[in-house]
Amino acid sequence: MSLFRKKQLSNEYSDNSLNRVLGAMDLTMLGVGAIIGTGVFVLTGVAAAKYAGPALILSFIIAGLACVFAALCYSEFASMIPQSGSAYTYSYVAFGEIFAWILGWDLVLEYGLASSAVASGWSGYFQSLLNGFGIHLPTALTSAFDPSKGTIIDLPAVIIVLLVTLLLSKGVKESAKFNAIMVIVKVAVVLLFIAVGVWYVEPVNWEPFMPFGFSGVVTGAAVVVFAYFGFDAVSTAAEEVKNPQRNLPIGIISALAICTVLYIVVSLILTGIVPFNMLNVKDPVAFALQFIGQDWAAGFISLGAIVGITTVLIVMMFGQTRLFFAMSRDGLLPKKLSMVHPTSKVPLPSTWVTGGLVALFAGFVPLDRLAELTSIGTLFAFATVSLGVAVLRKTRPELKRGFKTPWVPLIPALAIIFCVYLMLQLSSFTWKGFVVWLVLGLVIYIAYGYKHSRLNPVKSE
């Protein structure tokens, strides 16, 4: 049936045409650069205050495990199909067009809302920095729409999204050197917080350790999966990796291990300094230092967080624009979205559509809602990609694989079990939002994508 028509990849698609220049250390730095950002600077506070309390460290361990299993599956696909579109393209080959559309539409939600959540976190630290200079924005412009708090729009979040969109439309090239500098800045800021904060920890703040029970811990894990989302950047670099069989898993697992350790230490110190119920703020790390009177360090943290979160926002929005580009090129979205500027070689229409949507969500939707919706989209994508690895081992064993996921089908099965279990911990609001989004996507596919698909032999031009 043509709903399940698949992209056919022969071995020449798997042959890598780019220079294999990245080693295990490059991949580790790329991963840490993409992962360290909103998770450590923003979500730690929301997750501790609303879900896990001081047991947030367990949430990060559970989420980290789910991501390691999924990341190994991503690595196999990335080495086999080094093309734009990430999980969307992988599922086009493994399952067929209707599943590719569902996953692509899911990734639009994932990347778009992740970008919005990152922008919201950026806004919190920017306002914290302004407050340090005695500058206070009108309350109505400081956060997403919430009549009880008197806020209407998160203006700084909207502005940073539009500035990043402008940058991307000019043709931003992120070099490995620039990324490495950003990683050093981000890690230095996290280490500064640890070095200053550790002396102010009050163990009494860790009691009760699990105020919301174990269910709160796993709900917290489901929310903070978003903090690990950046490892996808490592798997998508497969085409440029020296010895991918060895270096890809080292790079992915090293990046996840480093970030998990940093998340755990920061969570311990954060909840040890400030009672967990006070941490529901957009800039928890800076807030904690202000709480203990270390305003000078809070200023450095805010500045470092702003720099670090900006680069994550650039990477997230870049990913979203390339997803629109890939889906449009396949005919599933209007052709205009895959139009490329003749000189900058940037898909301008998809860049500005992305910027507009991200600005809208960042301006008006509260951070905790953004994080939950992003997490359900991420977990769904991880589970689907993991299933795809097991399926393609059976249906397309001849495809050349630069890296093979070990212990198939055990690793994909563990990834699926972890991801589905965490998805089930998310709120009914999140599930309703997710289902409505997928239904809307199916309506668009039936009305437009099915007919215009490049794989449709009778499509109307």
CATH number at residue 304: 1.20.1740.10
**Using one digit for the tens of pLDDT, what is the confidence trace for 190-236?**
999 999 999 999 999 999 999 999 999 999 999 888 888 777 777 76
- Does 16 have pLDDT greater than 80? no
**Rounded CA gap, 241 and 332, in Å?**
31
3-state secondary structure of 60: helix
7 in a structural domain:
no
67 in a structural domain:
yes
Q: Which domain holds residue 292?
A: 18-452
C-beta of residue 240 within 8 angstroms of C-beta of residue 78 = no
Unique residue bearing structure tokens 């174990």? 214
234 in a structural domain:
yes
pTM: 0.85
Phi, psi of 318 (to 5 degrees): -60, -45
- The encoded tokens of residue 129 equal 């920095």
- The encoded tokens of residue 211 equal 């105020």
3 in a structural domain:
no
Q: How many domains does the chain have?
A: 1
| pLDDT score recorded for residue 179 | 67
pLDDT bin (cut points 50, 70, 90) of residue 122 is very high
**Rounded CA gap, 139 and 300, in Å?**
24
32 in a structural domain:
yes
**Rounded CA gap, 62 and 36, in Å?**
17
Largest CA distance in the chain: 70
65 in a structural domain:
yes
**Using one digit for the tens of pLDDT, what is the confidence trace for 287-312?**
999 999 988 888 888 888 888 888 88
3-state secondary structure of 174: coil
61 in a structural domain:
yes
| pLDDT score recorded for residue 11 | 45
